[in-house]
Amino acid sequence: MYMLTRHYFPHGIEGESMGCTFMEYTDIEKAIKRANRYSSGVYFASVDIEDEETRKIVYEIVGGDIYDYRENE
């Protein structure tokens, strides 16, 4: 099971408090596809995917940069 966490600016103003949503996926590829879909627009702050079994982040997008930690295992 993978947990996707999206952080966003509710009013599109950087520096204001962020909102957060969570979604669970059984397939990492579906989670990555959704993460990439979330990663644009003025509301976007960051998105990460955590492996719930190991409690480690396996994929994240921050500031337009993509980090795929699956390669390191």
What residue segments make up the domains of the chain, in order of their start? 2-72
Mean pLDDT value across the chain: 92
Separation CA 37–CA 54 (nearest Å): 25
pLDDT in tens, 9-29: 999 888 889 999 999 999 999
Q: Which residues of the chain have pLDDT under 70?
A: 72-73
Percent of the chain with pLDDT over 70: 97
Closest CA to 44 of 5, 1, 8, 6: 8
pLDDT the model gives residue 54: 86
Q: Which residue has the tokens 């997008």?
A: 61
Helix (H), strand (E) at residue 30 = helix 28-38
pLDDT the model gives residue 73: 55
pLDDT the model gives residue 72: 63
